[in-house]
Amino acid sequence: MPPTADEFDYIIVGAGSAGCVLAARLTEDPACRVLLLEAGNPDRSLMMMIPAAVYKVFHNPRFNWNYESEPQAELMKRRVPVPRGRTLGGSSSINSMVWLRAHPADYDAWAAQGLNEWSFAHCLPYFKRSETSDRGASDYHGGDGPIHVTRASLRSAIFDAFEESSVAAGHRLVDDLNGPDAVGIGRLDSNKRNGRRCSASVGYLRPALKRPNLTLRTAALTQRVILQGARAVGVEYRAGGQILTAMAAREVILSGGAINTPQLLMLSGIGPGDELRQQGIRVALDQPGIGGNLQDHLDMGMSYSCSEPISHAWMGSPLGKARVGTEWLLNRSGPGASNIWEIGGFAKAMQDSGLPTVHYHVAPMKIDARPDGSFTLSHGFTLHLSQLRQRSRGRLSLRSASAGDAPKIDFRFFSDPRDVVEMREGIKVTREITSQGSLGKLGTLEVHPADAARTDAEIDAALRQYVKTEFHPSCTCRMGVDEGAVVDPELRLNGIEGLRVVDASVMPHCVGANLNATVIMIAEKASDMIRGRNSLPPAGIAAQPSALVQEIVSQRGF
């Protein structure tokens, strides 16, 4: 061991959603010494606490890696933003706080590929362990977990009209989109507590920081994993202008997310051999799967004006901001305590699908956002339409051999033309909802993409011009039991001992919902694996119909 090195039992790289969970759970054992390294700074920001201020913090370079994709060949060679949290709590500290699980068939499709302990029945107990739901403890919800989950509370005539129009268009209203039957439209849960954001840092890390066996170092950028033969024994990181070393007696655990984790592995000599040699990196393990299988949810913003002044556009005026801020500061209540995106759901846009194929988030004002993160509000509403399960696959690769240089991120969006068709049909289904009576009576008018996108060809062109990601990159270090898998079912890196990956990169496929709840579930489950504890007993629920599971498996090309 180098003379200046610190030694711990476990080193966790990345204090995002997964890293915060692991740090808290592993240090429940007072004999276990844990080092948590975070490249960003502490999450002490008033804007981060206020749910409605999400746009203020989301674009702040203090807390965001602000990555950008490579030019997308099928998106008019556009680069699309790839924001990732760079602070304690990671993206859970800057996201929109939507708390959703995916359809149970998504997880059962993992199990169908040999990952037997990752079925929905096996995952549900860990979803429950992570949360304190304001619905109370039940078969589907936790009652004493670190993340506080609340039902939507913002009153809005826009939300009421969207629900009524959805029913008129043939969609079901669902009271609990995290419940046993969540296909339909309803109010969204969010991770908030007493009107404040409840990130993984707030829920898991802050209570654990009181423990003497947890060491946290921020502004510490990990440069590489230190290997001795085929075993990970420590990490090298930069902090305070110095290169420092820390050694792990048991394991190094990578929780940097689907962008930073594969980058760090490749910088450490673990990845596609030819690519590493091109960067002058000595190959320790030739593993072509690292950085591959990159997925995200495609997202299309649609905006509507409204002649009736019933939206929450008033929040954007100077007086409105003062009113919202004052009410939040005094009482932690009012619109400031809302994450704004409080209604949404899942819909089938493809007639031959047994599963929902698109996802909605709706805000009760028309938001005209600018690239710098500033925006103006006007009467109407904004709707984000997302494809749940894309078929296109991308790749992440190194730009250089330096940890300080952003990697190359190529999603290859729309490289599979079936993704274009699903998004096109999603726009049509959306228009069936927004053209119904309740919204029509409010004088709503689609202003984007509007009449410029009516025919199939015009819709496809608009998608290529405007579609972006939903900021859910995943799957670049996928788990599996096949030879091409990067990690095994217990998230241990194949071919290297003492090295584990616990974050969104291990998903075999990107599940059909916002990812934060699933990432936290993965980390909860992994913490028991790492500690050698028995897994929680699976929930006593039936497996999903094989036809639904096979639909996902066939879509994903496994």
In order of start, what are the domains of the chain with their CATH numbers?
Answer: 1-58+84-150+193-294+473-558 (3.50.50.60), 153-187+298-387+414-466 (3.30.410.40)
pLDDT at 1: 45
Instruction: Give the model's pLDDT for residue 18.
Output: 99
pLDDT band with cut points at 50, 70 and 90 for residue 37: very high
Model confidence at 437, in pLDDT bands (50, 70, 90)? confident
User: Which range has the worst mean pLDDT, 60-64, 374-378, 470-474?
Assistant: 374-378
- Predicted pLDDT of residue 376: 86
Distance of CA 467 to the CA centre of its chain: 18
Nearest CA to 475 out of 297, 281, 279 is that of 297
Q: Which active-site residues does the annotation give? A: 472
Per-residue model confidence (pLDDT) at position 132 = 99
Is residue 487 a known part of a binding site? no
pLDDT exceeds cutoff 60 at 519: yes
What's the burial of 207, exposed, middle or buried (CB within 10 Å: 0-12/13-18/19+)? Answer: exposed
Annotated binding-site residue? 474: no
Q: 257 vs 379, which has greater pLDDT?
A: 257
Instruction: Give the orientation angle of helix 516-531 with respect to helix 17-26, to 10 degrees.
Output: 30
Query: Does the pLDDT of residue 286 top 60, yes or no?
Result: yes
Alpha carbon separation from 551 to 105, 389, 426, 554 (Å, rounded): 9, 11, 18, 5
Does an H or E element contain 523, and which?
A: helix 516-531
Give the per-residue pLDDT at 328: 96
Identify whether the C-beta of residue 262 lies closer than 8 Å to the C-beta of residue 476. Answer: yes
174 labeled binding residue = no
| pLDDT at position 436 | 85
Q: Is the pLDDT of residue 4 over 60?
A: no
Higher pLDDT, 3 or 274: 274
3-class DSSP string for 100-143: CCCCHHHHHHHHHCCCHHHCHHHHHHHHHHHEEECCCCCCCCCE
Tell me what the mean pLDDT of segment 121-147 comes to.
98
Closest of 361, 346, 391 to residue 103, by C-alpha: 346
pLDDT in tens, 85-105: 999 999 999 999 999 999 999
Q: Is the pLDDT of residue 3 over 60?
A: no
pLDDT for residue 100:
98
pLDDT at res. 451: 85
Mean pLDDT of 302-325: 91
Whether residue 96 is annotated as binding a ligand: the answer is yes
Q: What angle do helix axes 516-531 and 120-130 make, rounded to 10 degrees?
A: 100
pLDDT confidence bin for 55, thresholds 50/70/90: confident
Residue 106 exposed, middle or buried by CB count within 10 Å (0-12, 13-18, 19+):
buried
Q: Is residue 335 predicted with pLDDT exceeding 60? A: yes
